[in-house]
Amino acid sequence: MQLHWIEQFAEDRRRELYAFYSKEWWTQGREYDDVIQVLEHSDIVLGCCSDAGRLIGFARVLTDFTFKAMIFDVIVDEPFRRQGVGNAIIDRIKGHEALQKVRSFELYCPDQLVAFYEGLGFAKSSSSLLRHQR
């Protein structure tokens, strides 16, 4: 399968992303306007499309372009999982021309995906993540 990459989300792609986003347990309940705001305020947004042009993968990055890049919302559509799409998304991010100076890539993931990301070179951090939620 040939993967095609996008970094711009026009209105039709935004609707497609929202529908795609809404399928996951951890993104259900997010409002369309909030998803659009996330797109507009992330430093890098990356869509992965199939040969047919369908959105099959997504991720976004917040970064200072030097020291850290935080990867969020890595999603691969269910029928395309276990076919290397998630790996391709992470490779695309780590190889992105705007992120070449970044020293540390970090991401959040559910416990069941830790082994997958460890296989891509990520390691659990010893630092504590503190959270304040509204």
Backbone angles phi, psi at 95, to 5 degrees: -95, 0
- Known active-site residue 117: yes
Query: What is the set of domains in the chain, with CATH numbers?
Result: 4-118 (3.40.630.30)
User: Which one is catalytic: 18, 32, 108, 117?
Assistant: 117
82-133 pLDDT per residue, tens: 999 999 999 999 999 999 999 999 998 888 888 889 999 888 876 666 665 6
Encode pLDDT of 60-77 as tens digits: 999 999 999 999 999 999
